[in-house]
Amino acid sequence: MNASVSTQQTPALYGGKSSRRVTVRDISAAKRRGEKWPMLTAYDAMTASVFDQAGIPVMLVGDSMGNCHLGYDTTVPVTLDEMVMLSAAVVRGTRRALIIGDLPFGTYQESPAQALRSATRLVKEAGVGAVKLEGGERSADQIRLLVESGIPVMAHVGLTPQSVHAFGGHPVQGRGEEAAQQLLRDAKAVQNAGAFAVVLELVTAELSAEVTRSLHIPTVGIGAGAECDAQVLVWTDMAGMTEWPGGRTPRFVKEYARLRETLGDAARAFAEDVVSGAYPAEGHSFH
């Protein structure tokens, strides 16, 4: 019985017919098949259910919720309680996608034991299937303990937004021989520690391609060129909800809708109907 299960083909991550939840084993199988896949962030049950029904196989409850959902300037202030609450909502709103919860700044850097305590809350209280944390070599011990404890980990190297104050902004990573070698070491360190995938953020396309070729785990690119195994976008950026400073959309973002405009138009139309008395009409009223 077990042998026949283990030799079964795993379904395609996107466009597959399976209705069970995607697992990290499916993700490893996709890398072996050379199959590319999409990942989006999600922060609430309703939006997550839309993405789930659209077939998005992997969703990240990213600490980008700090900027996109909670009104902070950076990801740094996001707390574990906030992450647990919104991750639980995304899990409740989905049936098929693998849901990954981000470990917020200050909830894992101190020690592997601290990382395990935080990740355990996300798995037990929110029901996520995996966690993500930032850092390469510096986070390897944390990743190893989580994986040994049965918690799948997605790593995140390159530009790591929780270190925004140290980076002094959002510079592209991996430029120059020394930086490129360090990034390669970071990517290999997280793979060796047991991560099932690694996000490459704001990394040159050439270096991402080299990292992707040299790892057996999938790379998930954001601003990291076309050669990564998967691509992730923050959903509010992807859907044209984000208001960019000076109206300048970053180069790596592609807007697939103009939701900010659509929502604004809907709100204005509602307001005008209320002011003019056109809403509620007879058909919206009870007698």
Interacting residue ranges for ligand KIV, rule: CB under 6 A? 41, 60, 62-64, 102, 156, 199, 222, 232, 234
Amino acid at the residue 139: S
Nearest CB to ligand KIV, comparing residues 102 and 186: 102
Q: Which residue is nearest to ligand KIV (CB)?
A: 62
Nearest CB to ligand KIV, comparing residues 176 and 245: 245
68: which residues sit within 8 A by CB, 6+ positions away? 41, 43, 234, 235, 236, 241, 242
Min CB(62)–ligand KIV separation in Å: 2
Q: Which one-letter DSSP state was computed for residue 155?
A: E
Nearest CB to ligand KIV, comparing residues 68 and 140: 68
Min CB(214)–ligand KIV separation in Å: 21
Q: How far is CA 142 from the centre of its chain?
A: 19
Neighbours of 262 (CB within 10 A): 13
Min CB(236)–ligand KIV separation in Å: 10
Min CB(157)–ligand KIV separation in Å: 11
Min CB(203)–ligand KIV separation in Å: 12
Q: What DSSP string runs through 76-139? A: TT--HHHHHHHHHHHHHT-SSSEEEEEPPTTSSSS-HHHHHHHHHHIIIII--SEEEEEBSGGG
Evaluate whether 223 touches 252 at the Cβ level (below 8 Å). yes
Nearest CB to ligand KIV, comparing residues 64 and 87: 64
Evaluate whether 93 touches 49 at the Cβ level (below 8 Å). yes
Residue whose pair of structure tokens reads 């953020």 in the numeric block: 201
Give the residue numbers annotated as catalytic, written as ranges: 201
Nearest CB to ligand KIV, comparing residues 62 and 194: 62
Q: How far apart are CA 13 and CA 18, in angstroms?
A: 9
